[in-house]
Amino acid sequence: MYQPLEKALLRYQELEQLLADQQQITDRQAYNKLAKELSDLKPAVSLYREYQDLLKEIADLKTVMAAKHDHDFMELALAEQKVLAQRKTGLEQKLDKILAGEDKDAGRDCIVEIRQGTGGDEAGLFAADLFRMYSKYSDSKNWVVEPMYSSVNEAGGIKEIVFSVKGKNAYRCLKFESGVHRVQRVPSTEAQGRIHTSTATVAVLVEPQEVDLVIEPKDLRIDTYRSSGPGGQHMQKTDSAVRITHLPSGTVVACQDERSQIKNKAKAMRVLRARILEVKIADEAKRISSARKTQIGTGDRSEKIRTYNFPDRRVTDHRINFTSHQLEGILEGQMDELFEALLKAEAEKKNESRLS
């Protein structure tokens, strides 16, 4: 039943030996990769070792109880046996969750990108509504939202915005938001009251840690330029904006929100690392087809995932056939019911995959 955990334990012991090898330590990239794997395995292995120790303790108690003892001793032994059985049940439930494929990135911080889609200026206004919705939800969870890059259109909407979300389980919920969001409503500029359909695209990326991804300086081209923005006393007189190109993948990230070139470079690097890691994870998921079976939807940012219908005050998530008539509340950041439904559907898919 726990054969995968036994394999994980053997691999963990192998990694401990490899990391103790001085030759491995001299190769920083190899060392970081092994250290990351060891770190990922540690929670499951620690729990499995605790379970193994408990089984030995239960077996030892049974051996002692098999011998003849007085009544008082047997009462104490039976009470101890009951406590151990309860611990065993609790550990088995935790191990079953691990085997079901609990997302190891669930507790991580994330980077969110929102871009206006089809619909012109109205699409940009909808993108701004989505940013406000996520900001309000983050506030309710005491998460910290940090804008990293933004571009607005003439109507005051958002062409593109990139921001990080830091806090407990931020990625666990927001990961479901990747895809195309569609709005159906009457734009403020529509004189005849006709309903228009516009879209915005959302991408949610895991905020990489140092050991997740190693980017060689030689693979980067860094350009600086004068950022555009308000004039007058705030007019930029130095080349503070930064554009970074990852040459092997062609990924380009620009940042100009800060007045400091150093801060802009640091933010751009964070976004660049997240985008490269996303591609790496997607490629890995394609190679391991079973990973796709447990996803809610395809996970592709081109997939239409949700419709916000203003005339009917309705929000529909097309991946799980979830409908809510609390449109105003959801846009105000009241998203718990929606995320609970998505998390439940994800758990059910994982169980189906494990049993198939």
Which residue(s) pair with 200 in the sheet? Answer: 116, 181
Domain boundaries, position 136: 110-211+291-355
Are 182 and 306 in a shared domain?
A: yes
Are 230 and 278 in a shared domain?
A: yes
Token duo for residue 112: 């969110």
| Cβ neighbours around 290 below 10 Å, total | 11
Are 19 and 133 in a shared domain?
A: no
Residues 269, 271, 274, 279, Cα dihedral to 10°: -100
Are 144 and 77 in a shared domain?
A: no
The more confident residue out of 323 and 64 is 323
The more confident residue out of 153 and 333 is 333
In a domain, 83, yes or no: yes
| Domain final residue, candidates 265, 286, 307 | 286
Are 12 and 45 in a shared domain?
A: yes
| Domain final residue, candidates 99, 122, 153 | 99
The more confident residue out of 251 and 233 is 251
Q: What pLDDT is attached to residue 291?
A: 45
Residue type for position 237: K
The interaxial angle of helices 71-99 and 28-66, nearest 10 deg, is 150
| Domain final residue, candidates 286, 302, 321 | 286
CATH code: domain of residue 300: 3.30.70.1660
Q: What pLDDT is attached to residue 168?
A: 85
Distance of CA 239 to the CA centre of its chain: 34
pLDDT tens column, 168-195: 889 988 999 999 999 999 987 676 778 9
Are 52 and 178 in a shared domain?
A: no
Token duo for residue 37: 């794997």
Token duo for residue 310: 């203003």
| Cβ neighbours around 146 below 10 Å, total | 14
Are 307 and 272 in a shared domain?
A: no
Average pLDDT along the chain:
83
Q: Which of 39-43, 254-258, 309-313 holds the top average pLDDT?
A: 309-313
Does pLDDT of 281 surpass 80? no
Q: What pLDDT is attached to residue 190?
A: 72
| 164: confidence class by pLDDT, cuts 50, 70, 90 | very high
In a domain, 104, yes or no: no
| Nearest C-alpha neighbor of 140 from the set 327, 296, 329 | 329
Token duo for residue 197: 């359909």
pLDDT tens column, 207-245: 876 545 678 888 889 988 876 654 444 444 557 888 899
Are 153 and 192 in a shared domain?
A: yes
Does pLDDT of 31 surpass 90? no
Are 201 and 329 in a shared domain?
A: yes
- Provide long-range contacts, Cβ within 8 A and 24+ apart, for 133-137: 133/330, 133/331, 133/332, 133/333, 133/335, 134/165, 134/174, 134/177, 134/333, 135/333, 136/332, 136/333, 137/333, 137/334, 137/335
| 338: confidence class by pLDDT, cuts 50, 70, 90 | very high
Are 95 and 127 in a shared domain?
A: no
In a domain, 335, yes or no: yes
Over residues 274-290, the mean pLDDT reads 65
pTM of the predicted model as reported, rounded to 2 decimal places: 0.62
In a domain, 49, yes or no: yes
Q: How many domains does the chain divide into? A: 3
Q: Which of 164-178, 223-237, 284-298, 307-321 holds the top average pLDDT?
A: 307-321
How far is residue 269's CA from residue 278's CA, in Å, rounded to a whole number?
14
3-state secondary structure 98-116: HHCCCCCCCCCCEEEEEEE
Are 295 and 281 in a shared domain?
A: no
CATH code: domain of residue 254: 3.30.160.20
pLDDT tens column, 80-127: 999 999 999 999 888 877 776 555 556 678 999 999 999 989 999 999
Token duo for residue 181: 């969001």
In a domain, 105, yes or no: no
Are 328 and 187 in a shared domain?
A: yes
Does pLDDT of 314 surpass 60? yes
Q: How far apart are the first and last CA of the chain?
A: 15
